[in-house]
Structure 1
């Protein structure tokens, strides 16, 4: 059954307006693709593939040859990501941002590498190597993670499927087996429009989350939108604290330091939902700007960039946009996800709409 985003249920987060689709793809050029794996792996249906891959591309061109400004910020580092060291060192993104489960990282890295090598024959031959960014969350409650159902071809397929259309949300792609606050979590998106005072120009901020964190009692503290007592019991035998990967995109012209300042504000949106970033939770933001590209090949020894002034009021609105879009994306990952069955007959139920204060 089709589930709804929270705005379709009468709930609005924050003050800033959303983009046309309330999605990360509202940032012009950004693409999202999913591959969903949900099927039994054994005849007795005790083991399941309940996982997938999600690809986020900053533009539709050759990302290695036309890089974008990027950064990451780690709130709590209980994660197994790849590529973030170089992203923070150089302030550049040169691959799609790939999301999957913890044990799927090697296969997704390989598949993405194969895709990029096919696209750019010069990599590792006449020029340097390529830095591949993969983020993960642990979906082992529903997914038979030890059987490693994610393969390199699934990464390639997710990249090839990526489009600028409104992204599918909920229990799809990398979010297929994720659990959030004891309910079904997964992929959620939101966006915000920031208007420049005294000008017709505006900027878009888009957010995509892979939500897999939190206990039910933490959600119960979220009194703004959630009833004070949940209707469904918490999952009690999950083995980990969970994680969240937050991908933040904007068309505002920012340098990597300014982007990181925005990325830090995603933690405000995360905290508003009830998270306290548990010991075993990887809480990580990957942020990029599509405003300008950085050519891999150039004979010039200088390059020029435009960036926003730090003391302009627009920076505060961008910070607000990051916080609001993150909060709403997390809520959408819950409200869009369907009840899901996985390994050992386990079932994670969808968030009942009756728990939302505006629902009647």
Structure 2
């Protein structure tokens, strides 16, 4: 059994831009991440991941690379260009239970006694290969635990939270994160990414194919959350989200028709400030591409071989195949 290791620990350095201190989405000040992981018996391998901004009603953008998925709250997010709840990730058939739990959680927060409308943002990938997805084991308590347990430290990666039962590019997938510091006209802007990888194709590491011998179904989806402290408006954030989906191609995604590929980008910057000039988008685009590529690699390299539903097994990427001497 190999120990989980991040891409940089294995000598895989994506791009040339500097990372934040943690090389994680939590490098964006005011952004926390929490997980609830469910591993029960031989058939349950699933969970919940929460990306929790300290403030809400934040400017946000959405890009749908392929819409074969379920994202609760996507139409209002696109229409109004903001998020008003944390962003939750889970398994396909648990999406709606998680959304209901988020509403319960938010309505119970102090100062929300008179709220009559709320737009929860919940996305999913299908972990049915390794988990009994029809069991729908996620409860409100699991959602509350992920939200209340969110911290600003380095998030757990690999087979945790919403990535517990996912598979990607023929290997065990999961949760991954990374960050970049983008040089802009207003100084460095932090761009962080968190991914839930569960899609098909042939893994590419810095352009080199690392094929898996395991058969795997087409599609199954990827969700990407991008956070930044840059002064971008909803339209600009939509452009950042688009680049996040583009980054999937760098690691070998085949963008199958049966895949739901979604990216949400939001900023923690106050909305009463003018938007950054368009020229600031160029370094931010580069930061998104690098951060998402590395986050996707981390989601695989930090994963562990998992046996689950119906005896299905998915092996972690063998680290020995990634070393320069391999």
Coarse TM-score class (shorter-chain normalised) = over 0.9
Q: 1:208: Cα distance to partner? A: 0.3
Specify whether residues 210 and 229 from structure 1 end up closer, same or farther in structure 2 by C-alpha distance, changes over 3 A only.
closer
1:11 Cα shift? Answer: 1.1
Deviation at 1:276, TM superposition (A): 2.7
What is the root-mean-square deviation in Å for CA atoms of aligned residues? 1.7
CA drift of 1:151 comes to 1.2
CA distance in 1, matches of 2:123, 2:93: 11
The alpha-carbon deviation at position 117 of structure 1 amounts to 1.0
Out of 40, 44, 62, the position equivalent to 1:49 is 44
Q: Secondary structure at the match of 1:205?
A: strand
Larger Rg: 1
Partner of 2:30: 29
Structure 2 CA distance for aligned equivalents of residues 171 and 108 of structure 1 = 19
- Asked if residue 205 in structure 1 is aligned to residue 191 in structure 2, the reply is yes
SS of aligned partner of 1:73: strand
Report what 1:174 is aligned to: 162
- Counterpart in 2 of 1:234? 214
1:98 and 1:348 map into 2 onto residues whose CA distance is 25
The normalised TM-score by structure 1 is 0.86
Q: What is the distance in 2 between the residues matched to 1:187 and 1:359? A: 28
- Partner in structure 1 of residue 276 of structure 2: 308
Give distance in 2, aligned partners of 1:68 and 1:141: 35
**Aligned to 1:355, what secondary structure does the other structure show?**
helix
1:8-157, aligned counterparts within 5 Å? 8-40=9-41, 45=42, 48-59=43-54, 61=55, 63=56, 67-120=57-110, 122=112, 126-157=114-145
Q: Is the 8 A contact 1:10 1:359 kept in 2?
A: no
Query: Are the aligned partners of 1:82 and 1:132 in contact in 2 as well (CA < 8 Å)?
Result: yes
SS in 2 for 1:242: coil
Q: Is the 8 A contact 2:88 2:122 kept in 1?
A: yes
Determine whether 1:277 maps to 2:246.
Answer: no
Aligned to 2:206: 224
Q: 1:328 aligns with which of 277, 294, 304?
A: 294
1:288 and 2:266 equivalent? yes
Residue 89 of structure 2 contacts residue 124 of structure 2 at CA under 8 Å; is this kept in 1?
A: yes
- For residues 175 and 247 of structure 1, the distance between their equivalents in structure 2, rounded to whole angstroms, comes to 14
With normalisation by structure 2, the TM-score equals: 0.95
Q: Determine if contact 1:225/1:358 at 8 Å carries over to the other structure.
A: no
- Contact 2:14–2:206 (CA<8 Å) still a contact in 1? no
How far does residue 135 in structure 1 lie from its aligned partner after superposition?
0.4
Determine helix, strand or coil for the equivalent of 1:119. coil
Counterpart secondary structure, 1:168: coil
Instruction: Kindly report which structure 2 residues correspond to 1:335-354, keeping only aligned pairs within 5 A, or say none.
Output: 335-354=301-320
Structure 1 residue ranges, 4+ long, deviating more than 6 angstroms after superposition: none
Cα deviations across residues 303-322 of structure 1 (Å, max 9, x unaligned)? x4321011x3x321001011
Tell me which moved more, 346-355 or 29-38: 346-355
- The match for 2:246 is 268
- Distance, in Å, in 2 between the alignment partners of 1:173 and 1:203 is 28
3-state secondary structure, aligned to 1:261: helix
SS at structure 1 position matched to 2:90: strand
The Cα shift of 1:121 comes to 5.7
CA distance in 2, matches of 1:328, 1:224: 10
Residue pair 1:79, 1:136 contacting (<8 A) in 2 also: yes
- The superposition leaves residues 102-124 of structure 1 with CA deviations (integer Å, 9 ceiling, x where unpaired) of 0111111111111101104645x
**Matched positions, count:** 325
Shift of 1:359: 5.6
What are the ranges of 5 or more consecutive residues in structure 2 without an aligned counterpart?
A: none
Deviation at 1:142, TM superposition (A): 0.4
Structure 1 residue runs without a partner (length 5+): 294-303
> Structure 2: how far apart are the matches of 1:327 and 1:258?
20
Report if the CA contact (8 A) 1:51-1:175 is conserved: yes
